[in-house]
Chain A
Amino acid sequence: MIKVRNLTKLYGTVKAIDNLNFDVKAGEIVGFLGPNGAGKTTTMRILTCFMPATSGDVQVAGFDVFENAYEVKKQIGYLPEVPPLYGEMTVRTYLTYVAKLKQVERSHISQAVNRVIERCHLAEVQNRITGHLSKGYRQRVGLAQALVHDPKLLILDEPTVGLDPKQIIEIRQLIRELSGDHTVLLSTHILPEVAQTCQRIIIINEGKIVAVDTYAELSQQLRKTDKIELHLQKMEGAISKLKAIPGVIEVSAIPNQEHALLVECQVDEAIRNKISKTVVEQNLGLLEMKVQTYSMEDVFLKLTTDEKGTAS
């Protein structure tokens, strides 16, 4: 559905995105994850033909975004960062206007509008002026606007920003329901969001893709080493003894915690066993030993700070 090759965009001399390559298959929900300013919005604006790229090729549904923008635009429903609402229109007139803009056939317009009003739970506000709506409703009208012409591809720029937790759950539920007949590319800087809604994740930082994979694969890949937290009564000689164990890579004191050590070792239960044995044999007074697990936040932090720029 989306094919991006060597995509680069310069703002003046600043590289907003740098040589991006990725694919999105039809029917997938893909999360575009990165900190603010990573280049998510820029990439989405290029995909939606709002902005041309400096160099590189982008194909959406087989059409080139630069040469065949008209066809591409027909395939895409786009929710920008700020929902593009005309504050003076009611929800229904606005959605009808967008349907016309998106070239929905005249005879299907009211049907299409009714469908998205129902789908985005807008029935009770359909005759209200969009300018008077709360942030949550505005966001939903924005989503309805992106869906009104039943596009093959949905591009959603931070769809859950500014919503309360209940609304966030609803929107995520809605997005999940869309998979299958729609392809969805959504951006976010909130980690649980991608873990919950997306089948695949593209992590981007400073304009470069850091990783593309499923959530499970990403957390797996990261566990090239185990991190073990040790709390001991006696610290004398502990570091050197632990470092002597084959397979242990690094031993360091945990800052701001007394008698606590962080042992980084290869992923192997035998090594963990040896560590505990050593601690007991040396009579260091073992109080606690636990393996640190990676949360999604760690995946993200690790990918965007430690391994900056090395695509895996």
Chain B
Amino acid sequence: MKNIWLIAWKDLKGYFVTPIGYLVLTVFTVLMSWMFFSSVSNVLMSQQYGRPAPGDLSVVMQPVLGNMAVIFLLMGSLLTMRLIAEERKMHTLELIFTSPLRPIEIVFGKYLAALLFYGVMLAITLIYPLILKSVGTIHLSQVFAGYLGVFLLGASFLSLGLFISALTENQITAAAVTFGLFLFFWIIAWITGPSDSVAGKLISYVSIIDHLSNFIRGLIDTQDVIYYLSFIFFGLFLTTQAVESQRWR
């Protein structure tokens, strides 16, 4: 655990030695705030047209959470592109792999760094439900479910991104491939055929976005949780295999 933390802390600090950490935080916060205000104004607008005020303000958060996932889809690859690719390029992989650490500790440490950074990104946006709470009633448990979904979705992306970063020494390649794969997992359900066919069910199950909708509506379904957790596990497993196998070649 000490070793995982050692790697994680170094990489977490690493986000802030280049502008990338500040950039991602700033852009994400600005975009999310814009989306929050537009969601608030939409609700206010509909009230002007005579619709009743929502009894539960968590409906304001629903589109915000959905958009949060989209924004992270666009930015997530920036968090993982550097993690292993850069170590390979700078030859520091030789240092960490000849230190008394297990490969899995290295992979977990790097993943933890990305996850913590992502956690900070999400934590900043918690201010929106708090604002809503100060002006009306809001079921925070529903909002919490939404956040859990967005967090798990992002965590899945990060595990995939880490795997890609382990395959190359070029950050840009890592970012581009990761982004392409994110997008693919997102749009995979667009070709869904009749939803009762086996293929249709399968595609819908694989699609990373279909599992998010329940969370955003405030429902935590174990099937969705298991999907994301197995996605993460698989991503980390592949990453470990990739860093190990490079030494075998």
Contact = CB atoms under 8 A, between A and B. Distances in A.
Contacts of B6: 97, 100-101
Contacts of A45: 94
A145 interface: yes
Contacts of A50: 94, 97-98, 247
Contact of A85 (B14, B18, B90, B100): B90
B17 interface: yes
A74 interface: yes
Contacts, number: 61
B100 A74 contact: yes
A154 to B, nearest CB: 12
B91 A70 contact: no
B134 interface: no
Contacts of B92: 84-86
Nearest to B93: A84
B91 A80 contact: yes
Interface residues of B, number: 22
- For chain A, what secondary structure do more than half of its interface residues adopt (helix, strand, loop), or is it mixed? loop
B102 A88 contact: no
B212 to A, nearest CB: 36
A124 to B, nearest CB: 23
B98 A87 contact: no
A88 B6 CA distance: 17
Interface in A71-123: 73-74, 76, 78, 80-88, 97-98, 100-103
A73 B99 contact: yes
Nearest to B96: A101
B91 A84 contact: yes
Nearest to B6: A100
B14 A88 contact: yes
A237 B150 CA distance: 96
Contact of B99 (A81, A87, A101): A101
B100 A145 contact: no
Interface in B226-249: 247-249
B101 interface: yes
A49 B98 contact: yes
Nearest to B94: A80
B99 to A, nearest CB: 4
A45 B97 CA distance: 10
Interface in A35-88: 45, 48-52, 70, 73-74, 76, 78, 80-88
A51 B245 CA distance: 10
Interface of B: 3, 6, 10, 14, 17-18, 90-102, 247-249
